[in-house]
Structure 1
Amino acid sequence: MCGITGWVSFDRDLTTEHRALDAMTETMACRGPDDRGTWSEGPAALGHRRLAIIDLPGGRQPMTVRTPGGTVAMVYSGEAYNFTELRRELTARGHEFTTDSDTEVVLRGYVEWGDTVAERLNGMYAFAVWDGRHDKLVMIRDRMGIKPFYLYPTPDGVLFGSEPKAILANPLVRPRVGLDGLRELFTMVKTPGHAVWEGMREVAPGTVVTVDRDGLRTRTYWRLETRPHPDDRDTTVATVRDLLDDIVRRQLVADVPRCTLLSGGLDSSAMTALAARQLAEQGEKVRSFAVDFVGRTDNFVADELRSTPDTPFVHDVARLARTDHQDIVLDVASLADPAVRERVIRARDLPAGFGDMDTSLLLLFRAVRDQSTVALSGESADEVFGGYLQFFDEGARSADTFPWLFQFARHFGDDAGVLRSDLAKALDLEHYVADSYHSAVTEIQRLAGESDFEFRMRRMSYLHLTRFVRALLDRKDRMSMAVGLEVRVPFCDHRLVEYVYNAPWALKSFDGREKTLLREATRDVLPQSVYDRVKSPYPSTQDPDYGRALQDQVKDLLARPGHRVFDLVDREKADRAAHRTEMSTQADRRGLERTLDLAHWLDLYAPELTLA
């Protein structure tokens, strides 16, 4: 897994810049608690923090290979699940390995194939290679954007890192955010390449970025493409199952304790059950963990989003799959703890706006990390198989905007409702979203002869897989790596994504229910209760004491009239929210959580804001 960072400056000798490189590297300490390393040569400097997963003694980084033309050095974050096959191929081509790590396979793969090694990898990864043979830096990110990767062009090179904080630690960079950055913060659109911080951008998923003395160039090596789907229903279901069996088997490989994250929904239950069956063949049991809240099951109140509590379904799966299961039960004091909120903001570098669903995820991961280093998650199955409410809502299907925004407005209100009116006017979020949406839909290829309805559903799938899922993957990565936990996402395997994306909606939902293909492909390992269960999103506390705790914290903030948060937030709106008598739903709490997130972010990062 790990955290990577680096600096290329063609006009200076970076071997003298140890202090700056060390500062950048240490920002990644949470991502890599097991080891650290730096390397520099001429215009290039690389830093690495390691979370040891495979070949614990042999995978140290930065890793180098000496060639007749010069040194090739790499820093790497992630996992290549097909490294064993690639190692055999490279060995046959004459490469000699000194470690058992996937890192060395990727490095020697680059030496052999150059940046086309990206097309050969199956996994989640972000890595940078300094190629001393040609004096160039090559940066590569995985197809789905599972692992984060940021860059900051400079007049004579580039800075990069797994997270913005690594780049912000360099003295060349000032923490600035303008209107476009704020627009991205207050719209759930996840524009590809956008990083919020001025001058910074993401390495887009599925791309190779090369930096040399002639400048910066980008090549796309993978995109979600439209293709005919010739398979019938039975063949499609069987193919999905075959892919899942192979994916889970690959992603269980680790030299450290593994587990699964189990919510009692279809996605995590299927993944846990498949993992349990495979490990049982080796005489092992799966550890599983679930998040819960004090009193939630006994006091659960159904709403439009969640009709049932998770815990009974979690326990059904744990019994059937015979997992070694543990519920992580959180109380209001932990969820509302300002220190936990601060850690969330530090992990994400931004006030991302997921509220208690961020804090609970961080607390869950922290508890899991005490017992395991690798966890498999059901994340992204809803995007791949079509599980969200909006896939079945005619209004969302036909809306001329991102379909999840249609649902969010209904259930959570206006995400930017806390803002000062003058700032809201300057941001003009409606037009920003509209421009982003129309830019996104121009990328979608229509299959010859595809009906209008099928194309609408393809459009919904494409938008979720190239925009919405990336926000959730970033959340998952930041919360897990903040505590040194590697979370793997089997449903993001690009082979599965490509195959299911091109299956027509009539196959994805042939019984009229959500995620029918996944349900049918795994029905033999699921308890009947889970097979029949309706989609329920990631849980959120229903305890009214949580809302009251937020109100008290905002009242404390209001008592500090000079706080910078009121350059952004409307004080009167914050005051009204802090004194409301009813404060139980997510929609009720959303403005309070946004206000507190912004306040912590301003305190921690002191960004220079350009509001005009």
Structure 2
Amino acid sequence: MCGLAGVVSGFGVKQEISDGLRNMLAVIRHRGPDGEGVWLDERRPVGLGHVRLAIIDPEHGKQPMVTEDGRYIVVFNGAIYNYLELRRELVGKGHPLHSYSDTEVLLYAYREWGESFVDRLVGMFAFAIWDKHDQKLFCARDRIGIKPFYYHFDGQRLLFASEIKAILADPSVKAQANTQGLQDYLTFQFCLNEKTLFKGIEKLEPGYCLSATYDGSNQLRIQVRQYWDLHYHIDEEHDERYFIDTLAGLIDDSVRLHMRSDVPLGAHLSGGLDSSAIVCLAARMLNGEQIKTFTGAFAEGAQFDETAYAKDVSSFAGTAYNEIYIPAGNELSEVLPRLMYYMDEPLAGPGVIPQYYVSRLASQHVKVVMGGQGGDELFIGYARYMAAYLEKCLSGAIYQTADQNRYAVSLESIVPNLPLLATYQPMLQGLWKDGLFGPRDQRYFSLVDRSGGVSHLFNQDAIRGQCGYSPFESFQRIFNRDELHSLVNQMTYFDLKGSLPALLHVEDRTSMAASIESRVPLLDHRIVEFMATVPPNIKFAGGRMKHLFKESIRSAVPTSIFERKDKMGFPTPLTQWTKGPARDFVRDTLLSQRARERGLFNVEAVERALASESEFGRVVWGLLNLELWHRVFIDGDMKPSGV
């Protein structure tokens, strides 16, 4: 795990490029405290920079790395888990690999197979390769979006980096709010597609690559294209037992590959099914060697404490158990601006806070940590999936249309699993208060749209500007993609493209802020592709959440975890904090003269919202993040104290 940066320009001198790169690297040094390097082209104003967290072959993996003939140069962030297999193949073809670094494998794989080599990679990655001979840059990001890649192109200069703040370190790039990104954030609490909250800075989307070349008039041209997408070729030939057994084998192999490391390795352990499965499978492969696990909890009450389940798993798997109780809200005024700086954008939910603390705990013991991220999106683990299907089944029963869809789920079949929704009455009330039995896209949008009931808190002219942008239309283009076959595939496909990259953004930043590498075995693209082949009526049979996944790891986890019905999803006592020890910080931030002059908020409405926030509400969180983001980046408070 590392950080990369680069400049490809139509003008400039070596010293300017070098100084600019070092400024970019300085703000992402937390991503790579083990080393720093800069490479400059002799013919063009081109430079690549890298900060390194040494994981695989620590002695020989220094970057930027250059091929023996000097033609190709790479900077790389991530991990290629099948690097040993690829290395054997490349050596067999005569390539002069001298190390066991996955970076060297990636570099020579490009030399052997060209741009198509990304199809051979199993791993998480973002990289840039410069071809000195052809004067061409080739960059790519992994299929799922585990590793980040941002860029700014003004028609003459291309700047790219692992974090947005590195691009903002260049004096030519001014931090400005992107109104389309703001609308996405207010709707979803993340930005869709290539958008960021910064005008002029885009993210390379998961499964995309970028090329930069010079034309005949020395003008720099860039091209962005998609090299991978998820295809739903439904397998009608096999039964449920086949899918369970195949999934079990894929997960087992993924965990095995993800354990490849030349430095100490541990695992997050929340007490939920996903992280517990990873821990138990990994422990089984260590042949008696203890794996270290890391658990977080809050002292605010039993509803925020899952340590009993985590300890059950630790005892069952024989791990070295470590836990941290997240400090009370009196630290929020310090930690939240610091996290905003590391995050670049105000994404996802307050779970970022415990993730940060648990990552800091892990960094005291290991350099690599595995987790269960992605299980809910892949294996159908969110209550909103059940809520959407309940409405669909009601419609089918009332209008007698249930048998018109090949992969339909009947109302009768899901009844035994409806108790899952007992604690989700507010979600159901929100779903049904404004409509019922409408088009699929409108109904699921209502479940993921977080803007309902908060529009009065904002100055709409300041948020929307003159762009005429519709987050719902962006949502539709993803959700209504052809050949998804069923509602469950539409929902999970949108989450794969939307909410999951946002969660992975948090995973990347919280781990990198602590200078450790985070790995997510469940998001091996082979597992993702396999799940897309499973018939919807098997993978969501009778509305059974995570049915195939649970059956595939049944024998690996303790019974208490397998049969658990009350998984919390790492809830954070945010409302207790914002109405208790952090009350003054929240009010001083949102009701300050600075916030009033910014003109984003209807301050009187915000004041009322502060008093009425529900226990697990996200309104205050969204407002607070947005104001702090403006302060840290738009106002220029780039580096809060303590960072």
Letter of the 1:322 partner, please give it: G
Residue pair 1:71, 1:131 contacting (<8 A) in 2 also: yes
How far off is 1:461 after superposition?
1.9
How far off is 1:400 after superposition?
4.1
Is 1:601 aligned to 2:632, yes or no? no
Moved more, 15-24 or 198-207: 15-24
| SS of residue paired to 1:526 | coil
Which of 44, 53, 56 is the equivalent residue of 1:54?
A: 56
How many residues in Structure 1 have an aligned counterpart in Structure 2? 580
| SS of residue paired to 1:253 | coil
1:540 maps to which residue?
A: 572
Q: Does the C-alpha gap of structure 1 residues 521 and 439 become closer, same or farther in structure 2, counting only changes over 3 Å?
A: same
Which of 291, 298, 301 is the equivalent residue of 2:296?
A: 291
How far off is 1:108 after superposition?
1.0
| Separation of aligned partners in 2, 1:28 and 1:129 | 20
Letter of the 2:307 partner, please give it: T
Residue pair 1:263, 1:290 contacting (<8 A) in 2 also: yes
1:223 maps to which residue?
A: 229
Residue pair 2:126, 2:149 contacting (<8 A) in 1 also: yes
Residues 35-434 of structure 1 mapped to structure 2, 5 A cutoff: 35-41=35-41, 42-67=44-69, 71-188=71-188, 190-214=191-215, 215-229=221-235, 230-279=237-286, 281=287, 283-297=288-302, 300=303, 309-333=305-329, 336-352=331-347, 354-355=349-350, 357-394=351-388, 400-401=440-441, 406-407=446-447, 414=453, 418-423=457-462, 432-434=470-472
5+ unaligned residues in a row in structure 2: which ranges? Answer: 216-220, 393-436, 637-643
Residue pair 1:396, 1:406 contacting (<8 A) in 2 also: no
How far off is 1:482 after superposition?
1.3
Residue pair 2:540, 2:546 contacting (<8 A) in 1 also: yes
How far off is 1:73 after superposition?
0.8
1:440 maps to which residue?
A: 478
Q: Does the C-alpha gap of structure 1 residues 45 and 241 become closer, same or farther in structure 2, counting only changes over 3 Å?
A: same
Q: Does the C-alpha gap of structure 1 residues 555 and 392 become closer, same or farther in structure 2, counting only changes over 3 Å?
A: closer
Residue pair 2:180, 2:464 contacting (<8 A) in 1 also: no
1:458 maps to which residue?
A: 489
Moved more, 80-89 or 359-368: 359-368
| Separation of aligned partners in 2, 1:344 and 1:565 | 24
Residue pair 2:347, 2:502 contacting (<8 A) in 1 also: no
Residue pair 1:444, 1:459 contacting (<8 A) in 2 also: no
TM-score by length of 2: 0.85
| Separation of aligned partners in 2, 1:404 and 1:442 | 11
TM-score by length of 1: 0.89
| Separation of aligned partners in 1, 2:471 and 2:176 | 22
Residue pair 1:182, 1:427 contacting (<8 A) in 2 also: no
CA deviation profile, 1:387-429 (whole Å, cap 9, x unmatched): 101111136766644777534569x964656323544565899
| Separation of aligned partners in 2, 1:425 and 1:181 | 10
| SS of residue paired to 1:475 | helix
Residue pair 1:150, 1:202 contacting (<8 A) in 2 also: yes
| SS of residue paired to 2:31 | coil
Aligned-pair Cα RMSD in Å = 2.4
2:537 maps to which residue?
A: 506
CA deviation profile, 1:167-193 (whole Å, cap 9, x unmatched): 111122111123212112222264221
How far off is 1:219 after superposition?
3.0
1:492 maps to which residue?
A: 523
Q: Does the C-alpha gap of structure 1 residues 244 and 131 become closer, same or farther in structure 2, counting only changes over 3 Å?
A: same
| SS of residue paired to 1:575 | helix
| Separation of aligned partners in 1, 2:47 and 2:456 | 44
| SS of residue paired to 1:5 | strand
Which of 585, 588, 591 is the equivalent residue of 2:619?
A: 591
